[in-house]
Amino acid sequence: MDKKQAKKRVEVLRDLLEKANKAYYQDAHPFISDKEFDDYLAELEQLENQYNLATPDSPTQRVGGEPSSDFETVTHPVRLLSLDNTYNEDELNDFDRRVRELLGHKNYSYMAELKFDGAAIRLRYEDGDLVLGATRGDGERGDDITRNVKTIKDIPLHLKNGYPDVAEIRGEAYIERDAFLRLNEHRQQQGLNAFANPRNSTAGSLKMQDPREVARRPIRFFSFDLMTDNETPITQYKKMELLQEYGLRVCKHYKKCEDIAEVHNQIDQWKELRHNLPYETDGVVIKVNEDKYRDQLGSTSKAPRWAIAYKFEAEQATTAVKNIRLQVGRLGKITPVADFQAVELAGTTVKHASLHNEDEIHRKDIRIGDRVVIEKAGEIIPQVVSVVNPDRENREPPFKMPGHCPACGEELTKLGEDIDWRCINPECPPQIRQRIEHFASRDALDIEGLGEAVVDQLVSEGLISTYADLYELEKEELLPLERMAEKSAQNLLDAIESSKEQPLDRVIYALGIRFVGKTVARDLANGFQTMDALMDADEETLGEIDSIGPKIAESVVTFFEQEHNRQMVKTLREHGLTFRMEEQKQSSQKLKGKKLVLTGSLPSFTRKEATELIEKHGGKRTSSVSGNTDYLLKGDSPGSKYDKARELGIEIIEEDDFLKLIDKKQ
């Protein structure tokens, strides 16, 4: 390879890694494995060094991803560096050799700790009180997620037992295996895409806008690092003890090792142990134990020289593809699924795995009859990694997506730039069942007793074909159904009748509009106040609501443009469902005509609660600072909006000032 070819390959690798970084850190939806990412990164680093092609903006010089634009940005006082990775013992021995040569002696020890497959979080405590929770972001700046962090029960709001004046704590948020499976099961019942692995579900949960929704997610937290204003050097082992004394939770699987041989022994033990743990661990972190030696060793531009991550290879197995079948989702998405010869993998029997979409099948060239390598992504979700022998003779022809829905025979289509094939037939039986189940689910109209089995019977017997038909059911029609006695039939009818009292935001969510989850439905209800106003809104009007982007706006307009959906809504209106927000009593006009922008974390209110107060007193909360802004309401750890307000001379107020403005007693 000459320099010209190397430069071209470097550009390809940088583009791929930037996209992978965004998918991992911002979208929480990675498309390549950790091992593939590390291999591509190593190749890029080798080419940059060999041909002198390194640049400051290369992925080899960066840590993590850019902070999300949905949260205030905070600057970390000390960079949160990533770790260099290794997958083999020789490279781990090389790490030990480098440490020994840089220090010039062998008087150091190591700490070995399990590496968790979750999301890194930085905590800051002042006088024992939790004042900030932030993501790692790009290592220098992260997202302020304090409100969300405060919902995690493992994170104390106040430290105990001799805490320092200021404590900076780092750790990992994660979701346990069983809780992850329950979460995915619930998402699929709601017609939402399942998370690929616990790491993605954790990252996605931490970036939700409503802390109450975050509180419903089963997030746990382990602390593993401590920085204080105490300048006396200590050890990592002592830090773990102090973290526990302060009331923070640490993983019990950590071990002081006197040399690299003891580290290898500990890794071997944990390789076996990890399958019996309730949470995911993807390796072992090895750190020089003594702080004084860490200071001497220092860091490169992106990683400390005193630590390394030994990563476990994902467990794999080979099996044969018996069939590729199609599943129909609630919104008509067609998902190809591979059925395998049963095989044991990471302690469970695997018989099938999602192939995601037609493009993914063609990218990996998966065909019926192939022997394939499978692994569990995050040791939870089976996935096909590759075909064992793609060049063999007499393979089956390449997979071709059928042109028609496997359930109803309707012609399949792709919407816009969507990569998924969809069935858009509103009468498609699997979609009907799933739409009705979604409509009746706990987060929608919460119709108790209308589970999957009952819905299946109602549809199969021809008693309902839409969720609007539920309101026309009669007891005499229900009694012949299996396990449906007089009392259970009456209870179901009572639950259906009670659902008419559910508020407008739940009705909007229950309609099953693509991309409209609970939070978006609530924003739409607050923004438009009535179903009629929402139905008549165009994309531009929808986009005026902060949380509504072009994708959601297009989906809402498309839904209400379809005549059968408008007819369905009309029928629901006739049955007396709630189509209007309850009028909020105006407390005063003290903020009439005033535009306020919020930045940082308020001591007493969530953003939603502060917004409601602003609106009750006649004001309007806007999302960005401009010359038209009247006040910037500043909380803890303000972001870039604070700097812009100062530049523009906007009046900056804090919570106490705000309460005085509306004469609210504290």
> Across residues 111-127, what is the average pLDDT?
93
pLDDT range class, residue 198, cuts 50, 70, 90? confident
Beta-bridged to residue 142, according to DSSP, are: 74
* pLDDT reported for residue 26: 52
- Which residue is associated with the tokens 């919570």? 655
Pairing of β 412-413 and β 129-135: unpaired
* pLDDT reported for residue 372: 94
> Across residues 78-101, what is the average pLDDT?
92
Is the confidence at residue 174, as pLDDT, over 90?
A: yes
> Across residues 166-181, what is the average pLDDT?
92
Q: What mean pLDDT value characterizes the chain?
A: 87
Active site residue 115: yes
What is the per-residue pLDDT across 310-357, written as a single tens digit (0 to 9) for each? 998 777 899 999 999 999 988 888 999 999 999 888 767 889 999 989
List the alpha helices (DSSP H) in 121-251.
Answer: 146-149, 177-189, 198-206, 211-215, 236-245
* pLDDT reported for residue 68: 54
pLDDT range class, residue 584, cuts 50, 70, 90? low
Is the confidence at residue 67, as pLDDT, over 60?
A: no
* pLDDT reported for residue 457: 92
Is the confidence at residue 581, as pLDDT, over 90?
A: no
User: DSSP of 264-290, one letter per residue?
Assistant: HHHHHHHHHHGGGSSS-EEEEEEEESB
Q: Which of the residue ranges 343-357, 371-385, 421-435, 494-508 has the most confident prediction, judged by mean pLDDT?
A: 494-508
Lowest mean pLDDT among 126-140, 180-194, 524-538, 602-616: 180-194
Q: d(Cα 648, Cα 640) in Å, to the nearest integer?
A: 13
* pLDDT reported for residue 191: 55
Higher pLDDT, 19 or 299: 299
* pLDDT reported for residue 62: 57
* pLDDT reported for residue 575: 95
* pLDDT reported for residue 245: 95
* pLDDT reported for residue 666: 41
* pLDDT reported for residue 606: 74
Cβ–Cβ < 8 Å for 139, 80: yes
What is the per-residue pLDDT across 570-579, written as a single tens digit (0 to 9) for each? 999 999 999 9
Is the confidence at residue 545, as pLDDT, over 90?
A: no
> Across residues 146-154, what is the average pLDDT?
90
Is the confidence at residue 216, as pLDDT, over 70?
A: yes
* pLDDT reported for residue 31: 72
Sheet bearing 219-228, strands edge to edge = 129-135, 119-126, 166-175, 219-228
- Could you give the percent of the chain with pLDDT greater than 70? 92
pLDDT range class, residue 665, cuts 50, 70, 90? very low
Of 7, 8, 115, 252, which residue is the catalytic one? 115
Q: Of 403, 408, 433, 409, give the one whose Cα is nearest residue 421.
A: 403
Sheet bearing 307-311, strands edge to edge = 85-86, 307-311, 281-288, 110-116, 254-257
* pLDDT reported for residue 476: 93
Reduce the DSSP state of residue 645 to 3 states and report it.
helix
Q: What domains lie within the chain, and their CATH numbers?
A: 3-61 (1.10.287.610), 73-311 (3.30.470.30), 316-396 (2.40.50.140), 429-574 (1.10.150.20), 595-661 (3.40.50.10190)
Lowest mean pLDDT among 105-114, 224-233, 256-265, 491-500: 224-233
- Could you give the percent of the chain with pLDDT greater than 90? 47
> Across residues 536-553, what is the average pLDDT?
85
Beta-bridged to residue 327, according to DSSP, are: 335
Higher pLDDT, 623 or 434: 434
User: DSSP of 182-214, one letter per residue?
Assistant: HHHHHHHHTTPPPPSSHHHHHHHHHT-S-HHHH
Cβ–Cβ < 8 Å for 132, 76: no
